[in-house]
């Protein structure tokens, strides 16, 4: 029986709310690439203000909730804090170098790295079909990358940076899991990760010599939206959904992010897609979805 069909003990309405939260999180995450690429401010300046807004919102929320940040919990979140900053920096840098389609499709390969690492770390044994589907998804990515238009300042470097983004995200995922196994509260983990990213991005902005006030007009609105919508609401909703639906089901829903992100880029940024790229998107998304389902199957 697939874990997707597992009864979590939640009522139908509660389960529906969990599915709705996961869908909303996916929609919010899909906006990150388009919002990030539509901002004219220098990357480090944009990220510094994004993190400042996110941290301010988290601290206000924590104050209203009466939440206390235990030093031990913050120390346990330290590795994830640094890795989150690296992920944020390389993700938004890659968007300036190549198309949204290339960035999000390569990003969609993260589960292919997570599964073998989970087998090594936790003794999990993916089914043989997982590896076949992994090869299929790699072929899909090759179609997208190999047939892409030259959007961005350096598409070739953008592919390499996008690969680095996947590695950073996978490392962040494992570091986060270790922190959560130490019972670090979700709000503390989110705050620690964002505060660490704030320190690092502001430092990078200062080192780059860019003016921290080099932001104009609608960019302020876009940066605020980037911080609050995909940055905070997306993560919070997905974490909340884990209480009422299977993590595997939430992961399958989240695979819609690359499709939505690429579609949004075509609509709002004018990044046209070729037929082979559309085929590649379908191959990647269907392969990764099948991998998640197949790897969580258990005998009846």
What CA–CA distance (Å, rounded) separates 168 from 159? 14
Are 110 and 170 in contact by the 8 Å Cβ rule? The answer is yes
Q: Mean pLDDT for the chain?
A: 80
pLDDT above 60: residue 297: no
In this structure, the dihedral spanned by the alpha carbons of residues 271, 273, 277 and 279, taken in order and rounded to 10 degrees, is 140
Condensed to tens digits (0 to 9), the pLDDT of residues 68-104 reads: 888 888 888 888 788 889 999 998 899 888 887 788 7
pLDDT above 90: residue 255: no
Question: How much is the pLDDT for 9?
Answer: 52
What integer is the mean pLDDT of 162-179? 83
What CA–CA distance (Å, rounded) separates 7 from 245? 9
pTM > 0.85: yes or no: no
pLDDT above 90: residue 199: yes
Q: What is the DSSP string of 101-148?
A: HHHHHHHTTHHHHHHHHHHHHH-----HHHHHHHHHHHHHHHHHHHT-
What CA–CA distance (Å, rounded) separates 26 from 36? 16
Coil, strand or helix: which one is 297?
strand
Condensed to tens digits (0 to 9), the pLDDT of residues 25-58 reads: 888 988 988 898 889 888 899 999 999 999 999 9
Instruction: From 65, 82, 129, 157, select the one nearest 287 (Cα to Cα).
Output: 129
């Amino acid at each position: 029986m697939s874990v997707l069909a597992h009864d979590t003990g939640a009522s139908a309405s509660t389960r529906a709310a969990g599915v709705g939260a996961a869908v909303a999180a996916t929609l919010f995450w899909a906006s990150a690439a388009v919002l990030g690429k539509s901002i004219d401010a220098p990357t480090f300046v944009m990220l510094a203000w994004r993190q400042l807004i996110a941290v301010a919102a988290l601290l206000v929320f924590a104050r209203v909730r009466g939440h206390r940040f235990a030093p031990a919990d913050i120390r346990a979140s330290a590795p994830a804090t640094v890795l989150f900053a690296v992920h944020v920096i390389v993700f938004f840098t890659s968007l300036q170098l190549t198309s949204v389609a290339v960035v999000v499709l390569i990003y969609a390969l993260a589960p292919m790295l997570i599964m073998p690492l989970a087998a090594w770390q936790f003794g999990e044994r993916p089914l043989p079909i997982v590896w076949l589907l992994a090869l299929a998804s790699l072929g899909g990515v090759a179609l997208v990358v190999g047939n892409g238009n030259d959007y961005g300042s350096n598409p070739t470097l953008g592919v390499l940076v996008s690969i680095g983004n996947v590695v950073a995200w996978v490392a962040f995922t494992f570091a986060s899991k270790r922190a959560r196994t130490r019972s670090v509260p979700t709000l503390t983990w989110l705050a620690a990760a964002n505060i660490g990213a704030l320190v690092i991005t502001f430092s990078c902005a200062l080192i780059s010599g860019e003016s921290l006030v080099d932001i104009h007009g609608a960019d302020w609105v876009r940066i605020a939206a980037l911080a609050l919508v995909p940055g905070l609401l997306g993560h919070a909703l997905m974490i909340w959904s884990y209480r009422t639906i299977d993590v595997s089901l939430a992961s399958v829903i989240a695979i819609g992010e690359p499709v939505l992100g690429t579609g949004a880029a075509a609509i709002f940024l004018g990044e046209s897609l070729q037929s082979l790229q559309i085929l590649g998107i379908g191959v990647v998304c269907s392969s990764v979805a099948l991998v998640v389902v197949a790897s969580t199957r258990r005998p009846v």
